[in-house]
Every structure is written in structure tokens, then in C-alpha cells.
Amino acid sequence: VLSDVNKQKMKTLYTHRFSRVAGNMKRSAIRELLKLTQRPDIISFAGGLPSPDTFPVEDLKRIVTDLLEQDGASALQYSTTEGDLGLREELIKRYDREGLHLTPDRLVITTASQQGLDLIAKILLNPRDVVICGLPSYLGGISAFTSYGAQLVGIPFDEEGMRPDILENTLTELLKEGKKVKFIYLIPDFQNPAGVTLPEKRRKTIMRIAESFDLLVVEDSPYREIRFEGEPQPLLQQLDKSGRVVTLGTFSKILAPGFRLGWIIAPEEIIEKFVIAKQTADLCTPIFTQKTVERYLKSGNFDKNLQRTIALYREKRDVMLEGLHRHMPDGVTWTRPEGGLFLFLQLPPRINAEAMLKKAIGHKVAFVAGSVFFCTDCGQNTMRINFSYASIEENKTGIKRLAKVIRDELK
């Protein structure tokens, strides 16, 4: 057992050994909070976890058995860095249906979207380069970019997502200051954490701004297919006329995060660098999971399962909206997402959600304090709550508990 003095010595010893990238890395508040989901007495709205009820275990059992019997030799082998052609072609067929026509050299498989974010940062960012993101934005994206030394500049949201007028003014200012802006990071559909969706008109405006400032756009889209209502809006990738959009997709929320399987669509020049960067990261994404998912897509059951997932999450969202409406005190407002996994709450300004979290855990309910999603000091009175993971009953009970904690805080 190390004494405290020795622990301190070790820390000092290692501090100067770590790289600048490691020095930029901070522990993730979400990861710490995810540990709470393992305590059975706490209803956790904290993580971004899909419901295990949506995992098609029986179908996958059959598929994995068939795969091992019929194609075991290649399913257990190394594969190409670009990913299995069969799976890429299945994904391309899905995009074809949306009107986005791709060739396999524009789409490569990733070890889920988080790898995509990390490798994008690796190939595009130098220390002090600026990345434009939302206020708020996905913490895993923020962390990936800052770990490579990027400076994040946040653009405020309204109920339709990023404000293009502020984006344009900010870019003009940054240009005057001589800053090197590399890309705009967006989650256009059912944003994590805000739950808002960029309408087509605003997507077009943002693309026009990206063009006029000659910027790349990273479109991170894990929730797109989980739409409960309203019309699908075009992908930024579809609106792109000048080869500047990188789109990230993942099976994490539409099938199972345990596969760690995603993909990236980008102009060929970016794909080329991305593949080289991926080689040093993991050589290739496991072919076993790729072939399993390819077979599942081909079986026709993927879409049926996705429809069931959407119906379940719609019900869970509705239960939560109803609970919020009934129990929350005046002064608390929330988003009404048309899809995805999250609601975002705005509390009266005098409440600090981070400080309140400890009390909430005391009342056996957890959330993520919204401030972790802001790259500035704002958002202290906001919180993200997930509605997909807990059961319908737990969603009802959890919202009651949360409302009591907020009411007590306001006394």
C-alpha cells in the first residue's frame, strides 16, 4: 500500500513523463456518473444508455451460431482497416433509400462513433486550432477535440439548435483575431444533450456559412433513426456541394452499443488519412461483429427491431413529459424532443444543478448536470435526463423524486 507521500511522489514523477495530449485529458464527469447506474436503488437518468429490452438477443444467438458454422474462418480473422465490404454495402443501401448515393470508398467502418471523433481530431487538429461546437454539446466530442489541444468556441442554441447569426458573427471575429478555425461540430438530429433538431432551412444556412468561411463540418448523427414524430430533415452530407462534410454513424443506439460498431462518411481525401490513422489505433474493427451485424441487416429483422425500439422510446418520452408537466414547479422548462434519448431541463437561475446532484442522489435519482456539456462557464442551471434506459415505472417514480428535490431547492 502506497503512503500518501509516495502517491504524491509518483504523481510528480509521472506528470513530466506524460505527453501533452495526456495532459489535456480530463476525467469525464459522465463516466464517473455512469457508475451510479450500477447501484440498484438509484433511478439513473444520467447515462446515455439504450434500453436492454431493445437488444435482439434471440435473433443474434441464431446469427452468431450460423456465422461460426458457415463462415467461422473469416469471421475470426483480421480484416481490412476500411471494414467489411458486405457491411459497407448494406449501409450504402440504407443511405440510398434516403436519397444519399455513396460509393464504398466514401464510407469506412469505425470502432463506433467515439473512435470516429478521436481519429477526426487526430487527423485535423493542431494545438490551438479552433473547433466550433454547440452550447451545449456532446461531452465525448468536446473531450476528443480538447485532448488534441483544440480551443473550443461555443455557439448558443435556441429551440431549433445552433444560432446561425451568432455563428456567422463569431466566425468573422475569429478570423479578425487571426484564429485558425478547423471545423464546426454539429449533432443535427435530437442533439445530445439538448434534444433539439436543426430544421432544413437552418441546415442550409449553416452549410452556406461553412462554405463562405471554407470550413469542414463534422455531422455526428447517432440518433437520426430514432424519430418518434415529424419529418426527417436532410443530412448535412446530402446538402454538401463542396466535399466538406464528415458524417459519423453508429449502431450503438439503433442496435447495441456492445458491438462498438460505427462508420464514417467523408470526402476521399479525408477517408485516406482516416484509414491510416485507424491503422495505428486498432488495425481494424472486429470482423466478427461486422459480419454479425451484416447478417442481421440482411435478415430483415433489423428494421422491425428498430421500429419496436422507436415505439418503446416514444412511450418512455411521453411518460416523462407527462411526469414533468404534472410534478415540476413553475420556472422549470424542458425540451420536447422529436426523437433520440434525452430531455434537457432549464431550472430557475438560482439553482446550481451540479450542487443539487448530490441531494438528488440522496433521494435516489440521478441526472447529468448540464454544465459539463458547455465549453464555457454557463449552463449551471441546466440538466440532461435520459428517458431510454430506466423502465416506464422508474421514469414515473424518478421524475417525482427529481421534482421534489427541485422544489426543496427552491424553498
Minimum Å gap between C-beta 260 and ligand PLP is 7
Minimum Å gap between C-beta 145 and ligand PLP is 12
Sign of CA dihedral 74, 294, 68, 81: positive
Minimum Å gap between C-beta 404 and ligand PLP is 28
Return the residue matching grid coordinates 456539456: 373
Measured between alpha carbons, how far is residue 398 from residues 30, 331, 401 in Å? Answer: 19, 19, 5
**What is the spatial distance between Cα 277 and Cα 379, in angstroms, rounded to a whole number?**
35
Return the residue matching grid coordinates 462498438: 260
* DSSP-assigned beta bridge partners for residue 265: 107, 247
Minimum Å gap between C-beta 191 and ligand PLP is 8
Task: Tell me which amino acid residue 389 is.
Answer: Y
Residues 290-349 that bind ligand PLP (CB under 6 A): none
Minimum Å gap between C-beta 335 and ligand PLP is 15
Q: C-alpha grid cell for residue 253?
A: 443506439
Task: Tell me which amino acid residue 173 is.
Answer: E
Minimum Å gap between C-beta 56 and ligand PLP is 17
| Strand spans (E) along 65-180 | 107-110, 130-135, 151-158, 161-162
Return the residue matching grid coordinates 485516406: 272
Minimum Å gap between C-beta 265 and ligand PLP is 14
Task: Give 164 or 340: the residue with its C-beta nearer to ligand PLP.
Answer: 340
Residues 34-73 that bind ligand PLP (CB under 6 A): 48
Residues in the interface with ligand PLP (CB under 6 A) total 14
Q: Angle of helix 268-282 relative to helix 112-124, nearest 10 degrees? A: 110
Q: In this chain, which of 262, 323, 370, 398 binds ligand PLP, going by CB under 6 A?
A: 262
Residues 349-408 that bind ligand PLP (CB under 6 A): none
Residues 102-121 that bind ligand PLP (CB under 6 A): 112-114
Task: Give 92 or 112: the residue with its C-beta nearer to ligand PLP.
Answer: 112
Measured between alpha carbons, how far is residue 31 from residues 35, 83, 146, 213, 360 in Å? Answer: 7, 28, 17, 36, 18
**What is the spatial distance between Cα 324 and Cα 317, in angstroms, rounded to a whole number?**
10
Q: Tell me whether the omega of the peptide bond preceding residue 136 falls within 30 degrees of 0, making it cis.
A: yes
Residues 188-227: x/- map of binding to ligand PLP (CB under 6 A)?
A: ----x---------------------------x-x-----
Residues 2-41: x/- map of binding to ligand PLP (CB under 6 A)?
A: ----------------------------------------
Q: Are strands 130-135 and 151-158 parallel, antiparallel or unpaired?
A: parallel
Task: Tell me which amino acid residue 267 is.
Answer: P
Q: In this chain, which of 134, 136, 154, 257 binds ligand PLP, going by CB under 6 A?
A: 257
Q: What totals of helices (H) and strands (E) does the chain contain, helices first?
A: 15, 14
Task: Give 219 or 409: the residue with its C-beta nearer to ligand PLP.
Answer: 219
Q: In this chain, which of 92, 130, 162, 187 binds ligand PLP, going by CB under 6 A?
A: 187
Minimum Å gap between C-beta 119 and ligand PLP is 12
Residues that bind ligand PLP (CB under 6 A): 48, 112-114, 138, 140, 187, 192, 220, 222, 250, 252, 257, 262
